[in-house]
Structure 1
Amino acid sequence: MDFKSLGGGSAADKLIVPRDLFNVLPAKAPRYQYPRDVQADVWNQWFSRRNERDLTIKMNTGSGKTVVGLLILKSCLNEGAGPAVYVTPTPYLVQQVIKEGRDLGLELTEDARSPRVMSGKAILVINVHKLINGQSVFGVGSEGVEIPIGSVVIDDVHACLAETEEQFSIKLVSPAQAYKDLLKLFSSDLEHQSLSGATEITEQEPNRNMLVPYWAWASKQQQVQQILREFVRTFKNDKDKDNKEHKDIALFRYPLIKDHLNLCECVFGEGEAEISLRCLPISVIPSFQSAQRRIFMSATVSDDSVLVTHFDAAPESVQKPIHPESSGDIGDRMILVPQELNPSLTDDQVKEYLKHCAQTVNVVVIVPSKFRAKYWADVAAATLSTDDLQAGVAKLRQGQVGLVVLVNKYDGIDLPDDACRILAIDGLPDVRGRLEKIEQGMLFGSDQVIRGSIQRIEQGMGRGIRSNEDYCAVFLMGRSLTSHLYARNAKSFFSAATRAQLELSEQLAKQFNNPSINDIHQAVRQFIKRDPDWIQASKAAIVGAKYATGQTSHIALSQRRAFNSAVNGDYRDAQSAMQSAVNAEKTDKTKAWLMLQMAEYQHHTDAVQSQLILKEAVRLNPQITPRPLEGIEYTKLPSHLAEQANLCLHHLRQNYPNPNTFILQMNAYLEALIFKPGTAPVFEKTLADLALAIGYLSQTPEGTTGRGPDVLWSLGRQKFYVIECKNGATVDTIAKDYCNQLTGSMTWFTDKYGPTCTATPIMVHPASIIEYAATMHPNARVITTAHLGALRTAFREFAKAVASKPRYGTETEVAQLLAHFKLTEEVFVSQFTVSPRAAKK
């Protein structure tokens, strides 16, 4: 009998309802007997809204997202909305999707030019780089559509966004001629902003970044274009393997932004020039821009603003995501914050504990940088970065490895089951680009920055649970991370299911009283051995967790509208869009940042008004850069203050009603007060904030006006500390230029404060020996590595002591503590600084 003639197989190429389609797939593997309830729920919602161009689907990791996406694309093909493309963040995940699709009995291919794709018979599976690059087979810019896209699924969309953002940026590295030419072109503009800063850029100091003023960038576009075109001509056909990075820029990145250079920002730092955008001109890939259906899939990240700014997704659709009724199908996590449970626990103790655990289970530690990875080097079986990531992950999935460190990798990898039973997130994630680093300095401590950090932390926490049956103990560690979670109430930015798991772990913490590592180990041991009481409590905690509605900030919507208007040459509407964002913003810090962007657009129609807007932005937030052309008037600190103890007590009571919050904040400050390249802005801000915590007043004049010292402390009684921070220095002598900077800052001080006030010049530098032929100010003092360590200890012990007293004690008690820990003006310099010494010939 010929059963094929009955037509059963053809149903899989005709049905368009995804659940029905799933049920009739003739060659799917036995494990796909029935769709999960959450999958059917999502399919039904998508099908009813399938003709909306931009849709977001949110499903927990392990709930069957890949199957959902593949069946949606098969439905689209059957309905005639092809070709269909499934996009993943990495080539490794391409292979996973293809395996899953073939197990379902679907036809898939990696060949973008396959006739089966063009005819709507096969689903194309590619990584995001193949879709979005300057040589994309789909067509770029004026080339038009080379390969059409009818329906596209972007899986793990936030990981794809990171890769896409990288493609839309250019990084020119010294000694490339293009870097030298750009720096020469803008050197005078940087000098006008900050003479010392421009010098540090020229000398490639590791802790300095400077943004080219937007008016200089706009006025020199012709020269910029010439420099970059010459760079492209040089490297486009270069066969030298050593120039792979430059060739990548010439071939794959420059074509994406060449027509939008006038809207770019340019940042110099550490021998690199970065050219990038706040919003991405995704229309340069016309196949993606014109796709009939675009489906963005992700786990439960709460803020989808970046889909608007980077993929130009329709806000009205993004704000109504498709998701299962409940988000309680997430894997099981015990989330512990050891240094919140017991503030006296050190990183070393947690590290040693995780080393012990790694003898029996795989432990994965995600660190923000290579610098932090060095801290784990003595206990790590492997440290993985981009080049060796996939091979290292494969070993974890195959069996016992031990403790493995991942460098700045919070998304795009899977560590299911025994591949990772304990996951640690160590510290706040580092920002990816130089523009982001500059803007983080402008917005330090704002909801905008905190939300971005929490989103990446939550992505990292999801690496260890890849199904609803999976389980993983999660440690959140590092003083900066702990401070963000509790002192800044960042927990509210987590998704509902993660918040529920964190709250359950906090309930568990109430059973502890300053637990030791052994106490914490007992809880982790019971969790890993699958204690039935924990499992019951955990399932009960998340069963009611709901997916949040889509969040797209008013800022993102205004930024996208402004950018699109500017691309079309309508700068007046761009300025109007940013004005709307400014009007809707309540905090001065963020309002000022938005005013900066408004001034950038205003410059194209009214340069004078643009400078006035920028001046007001800097008034609201002194960290805004660049400074207006006419400069910012310096406002002096008062030279006569109340008693130190009185000011200290007032500051603590007003800003930290809860003493535990003060301790967490101080711990975060002290973690930032270290010698580390690339951290100067945070170090300077921290040193200024610590002055307030002990009863002094402070400023960062160079950072806010472009002139003066990095940090200025007012001690009262007409006494000051003029401080230059060189915490990024890595050499064992103080350079001549550093000496000159400190002397120049003292000259600035005398000019601003006159002869009636006195100042002690202080330099923060790991060494106290002056470079041969350099001359230091005769009264100079140095905070060396040892002295900075002593100062951190004094701050920490003072914070613990004063926080232990009801309402921080009395003024007399605070004065006694300040004196005991040598934090008063009378002994501070002798206790925490040393006189510099000249180098021997």
Structure 2
Amino acid sequence: MCTATATATAIEVRPSCPPIDRITSFVRARRRVYLTATLADDSALVTDFGADPDLVAQPVTPGSAADLGERMILAPVALNPDLDDEAVRVLARQFADGDHDGDGIAETDPVNVVVLVPSERAAAAWSRHAHHIWRVDDLEAGVRKLQSGHVGLVVLVNKYDGVNLPADACRLLVLDQIPRPLDSVERREAVALADSTVRLAREVQRIEQGMGRGVRDGEDYCAVLLLGAKLATAIHDARHLALFSPATQAQLKLSRDIAGQIKGEGLDAVRQALRSCLARVPQWCERSRRALAEVRYAEHGTVRPEAVALREAFDFAATGRPQAAAERVQKAVNDIGENDKALRGWLREQKAAYLHLTDPVAAQQALAGALADNTFVLRSVHGAAPVRLKAAAVQSRAAAEFLADRYRDGVRLRLGVQALFEEVVWGDDERSDDAEAAWQSLGEHLGFASSRPEKLYGRGPDNLWALTAARQAVIELKTGCTTDTIAKKDMDQLGGSVRWLNDHNPEVEAVPVMLHPSRAADAKATAVPGMRVITPELFEKLKDAVTAYAAALASSPDR
């Protein structure tokens, strides 16, 4: 009843739902009480714990959210897209040292600054500013130190829940980049459900958990800085905002009002806003209290129908009824409309898994249907026939239509472009899939028809851009490589992808492109004729050019 997920470093085996019936004391308990401060979507209680969805939908809540404590939440890059992340890191260290105005002299008491990062690579960017970098094994002792006095600037690696930092233990909290999926199963799901509300809800939950580390009761207060374009988007995009808890939504609205007053200004304006929170300026404190005073918790919990279906289907299958499990998932599929094809395809893959236990032929048919809805689910054994990529008739018009459909205003456009480039991380093989997805999206931003043949068909290049009706860029991304030269196997892969395009679309000229940290071929490798190499240095030039393009479009309301 388990799924095996293989990555470059491990194989993870786990069931689609925890087999909660194996924990006898839990199953036989007369009462089960679930405590949570941040769960806007309660579906996890059903899928993970087998909770009764009807009871979960009737939560016991306080009468008001006014006892939650005070937070000012700012995303510097949303205030001014030209603000540098490194400058924000310097600011955070200065606040830890009591230097609020940044003149090199401590004029007030130092505070504990806690930074949450999703990876070792992100932690490395803080190494020259941090007093300590703590991982899971260091946390228990480290948190005790923070709770007992001044420690300084502390970085916690990939820990967004289960850490309590009340009062002076944390006065300035920094979330640097969006939390990453924790394991291989979640990473695969993140790719398949990238634009689905289900995925957004999980992302928002982890962000909210992270932002809640520094405020633990009604008298507590904390300033929160969000680094990275994706985090900034999360507190400005309507789809994300709707998924935060009511109290956090109220605090975000107040913070946006503050942000609106300092929009376009430099880091000094951010300093001043933070000081008004940390120095307990009466005007800020009063506005913060009023923002929460009228907030009421939702009377009904949110349990997504497909979550209930997946739990019930797993329970059917676990008791020897896989056909009933498949039928239960199909019922959930029927209830999902055209607006969320990604989720529909993902569920049809789950249905195929249950069908495979009794009818492998029907399972393959179900998988083919799943692929029609979501190109990132498992492929059927018969595969899918490649579809020819057609270039846009007019590149500029295609770009304009894509951007107008994707972004409501210039701020979101600039954040979206920055977020794209944040997804391309050199030297990290686990981020290769993110880089490929970002590269496909970059092509669409620039008005090119763009696809991922290897992901879609198991053959062909990582990315394919239709530059014109007669030319297509065959692109292999080797951003995860750390070698000084381009290996023979990577050259051969690019050559094979060119031949793949020639076989499927012989009238189109292939332009071979590779993203690689080196432009030098290994002694055993033969370069593909006419190939281009995008090195990290050239990638930065591309990033600057596209960012400037977005800034130009965003600079005038009539664009």
TM-score by length of 2: 0.95
| Whole-angstrom CA distance in 2 between matches of 1:506 and 1:484 | 12
Aligned residue number for residue 393 of structure 2: 642
Q: CA shift at 1:767, angstroms?
A: 0.9
SS at match of 2:371: helix
Q: Does 1:283 align with 2:35?
A: no
**TM-superposition CA deviations, 1:187-234 (whole Å, max 9, x none):** xxxxxxxxxxxxxxxxxxxxxxxxxxxxxxxxxxxxxxxxxxxxxxxx
Residues 15-34 of structure 1 mapped to structure 2, 5 A cutoff: none
AA aligned to 1:695 is: G
Q: Check the 8 A contact 1:670/1:792 in 2, yes or no.
A: yes
Aligned residue number for residue 597 of structure 1: 350
Question: Structure 1 residues 484, 510: closer, same or farther in 2, change over 3 A?
Answer: closer
| Whole-angstrom CA distance in 2 between matches of 1:342 and 1:452 | 27
Question: Structure 1 residues 417, 654: closer, same or farther in 2, change over 3 A?
Answer: closer
| Whole-angstrom CA distance in 1 between matches of 2:306 and 2:22 | 23
Q: Does 1:772 align with 2:523?
A: yes
Q: Check the 8 A contact 1:300/1:547 in 2, yes or no.
A: no
1:575 to 313, 326, 340: 326
Larger Rg: 1
Q: Does 1:315 align with 2:65?
A: no
1:442 to 192, 196, 207: 192
AA aligned to 1:514 is: G
Q: Does 1:618 align with 2:356?
A: no
1:480 to 230, 243, 254: 230
Q: Check the 8 A contact 2:4/2:11 in 1, yes or no.
A: yes
| Whole-angstrom CA distance in 2 between matches of 1:428 and 1:442 | 18
SS at match of 2:465: strand
**TM-superposition CA deviations, 1:669-714 (whole Å, max 9, x none):** 1211331331111211111111111121111000111110000000
**TM-superposition CA deviations, 1:292-338 (whole Å, max 9, x none):** 11111111321121111111111111111111111221011111111
SS at match of 1:309: helix
SS at match of 1:297: coil
| Whole-angstrom CA distance in 1 between matches of 2:517 and 2:406 | 32
1:331 to 36, 46, 69: 69
Question: Structure 1 residues 705, 319: closer, same or farther in 2, change over 3 A?
Answer: same
- Percent identity among equivalent residues? 39
AA aligned to 1:601 is: Y
Q: Does 1:740 align with 2:478?
A: no
Q: Check the 8 A contact 2:235/2:252 in 1, yes or no.
A: no
AA aligned to 1:589 is: A
**TM-superposition CA deviations, 1:429-455 (whole Å, max 9, x none):** 111110111111111122111110110
**TM-superposition CA deviations, 1:580-606 (whole Å, max 9, x none):** 211122211110001100111111222
| Whole-angstrom CA distance in 1 between matches of 2:255 and 2:490 | 49
Aligned residue number for residue 455 of structure 1: 205
AA aligned to 1:367 is: V
Q: CA shift at 1:648, angstroms?
A: 2.0
1:511 to 261, 282, 297: 261
SS at match of 2:347: helix
Aligned residue number for residue 557 of structure 1: 308
Question: Structure 1 residues 670, 807: closer, same or farther in 2, change over 3 A?
Answer: farther
| Whole-angstrom CA distance in 1 between matches of 2:410 and 2:274 | 29
1:751 to 499, 503, 506: 503
2:468 to 716, 723, 727: 716
Q: Check the 8 A contact 2:65/2:297 in 1, yes or no.
A: yes
SS at match of 2:464: strand
Aligned residue number for residue 201 of structure 1: none
Q: Check the 8 A contact 1:421/1:464 in 2, yes or no.
A: yes
**TM-superposition CA deviations, 1:9-62 (whole Å, max 9, x none):** xxxxxxxxxxxxxxxxxxxxxxxxxxxxxxxxxxxxxxxxxxxxxxxxxxxxxx
Q: Which moved more, 1:508-517 or 1:744-753?
A: 508-517
1:351 to 70, 73, 89: 89
Aligned residue number for residue 137 of structure 1: none
Aligned length: 543
Question: Which consecutive aligned stretches of 4+ in structure 1 deviate over 4 angstroms post-superposition?
Answer: none
| Whole-angstrom CA distance in 2 between matches of 1:687 and 1:318 | 41
Q: Check the 8 A contact 1:450/1:484 in 2, yes or no.
A: no
Q: Check the 8 A contact 1:486/1:664 in 2, yes or no.
A: no
Q: Does 1:672 align with 2:423?
A: yes
AA aligned to 2:352 is: A
| Whole-angstrom CA distance in 2 between matches of 1:513 and 1:689 | 28
| Whole-angstrom CA distance in 2 between matches of 1:408 and 1:710 | 29
Q: CA shift at 1:488, angstroms?
A: 5.8
| Whole-angstrom CA distance in 1 between matches of 2:287 and 2:334 | 46
AA aligned to 1:413 is: V
Residues 719-730 of structure 1 mapped to structure 2, 5 A cutoff: 719-730=471-482
SS at match of 1:537: helix
Q: Check the 8 A contact 1:393/1:415 in 2, yes or no.
A: yes
TM-score by length of 1: 0.63
Q: Does 1:628 align with 2:366?
A: no
1:793 to 544, 547, 556: 544
Q: Check the 8 A contact 2:195/2:342 in 1, yes or no.
A: no
Q: Check the 8 A contact 1:305/1:551 in 2, yes or no.
A: yes
Q: CA shift at 1:390, angstroms?
A: 1.1
**TM-superposition CA deviations, 1:77-112 (whole Å, max 9, x none):** xxxxxxxxxxxxxxxxxxxxxxxxxxxxxxxxxxxx
Q: Check the 8 A contact 1:653/1:807 in 2, yes or no.
A: no
Residues 180-329 of structure 1 mapped to structure 2, 5 A cutoff: 263-329=1-67
SS at match of 1:511: helix
Q: Which residues of structure 2 form unaligned runs of 5+?
A: 98-109
Question: Structure 1 residues 518, 334: closer, same or farther in 2, change over 3 A?
Answer: same
| Whole-angstrom CA distance in 2 between matches of 1:480 and 1:458 | 14
Aligned residue number for residue 101 of structure 2: none
SS at match of 1:510: helix
Aligned residue number for residue 236 of structure 1: none
Q: CA shift at 1:486, angstroms?
A: 2.5
Q: Does 1:690 align with 2:421?
A: no
2:147 to 385, 397, 403: 397
Aligned residue number for residue 139 of structure 1: none
| Whole-angstrom CA distance in 2 between matches of 1:393 and 1:727 | 36
Q: CA shift at 1:367, angstroms?
A: 0.5
| Whole-angstrom CA distance in 2 between matches of 1:663 and 1:686 | 15
SS at match of 1:612: helix
Q: CA shift at 1:807, angstroms?
A: 4.2
AA aligned to 1:295 is: V
| Whole-angstrom CA distance in 2 between matches of 1:532 and 1:654 | 43
Q: Check the 8 A contact 1:765/1:783 in 2, yes or no.
A: yes
1:731 to 483, 486, 497: 483
Aligned residue number for residue 22 of structure 1: none
AA aligned to 1:616 is: G
Q: Check the 8 A contact 1:487/1:664 in 2, yes or no.
A: no
Task: Specify which structure has the bigger relative contact order, considering alpha-carbon pairs within 8 angstroms and separated by 6 or more residues.
Answer: 2
**TM-superposition CA deviations, 1:751-810 (whole Å, max 9, x none):** 0111x21011111111112222122212222111111111111110111112224443xx
Aligned residue number for residue 105 of structure 2: none
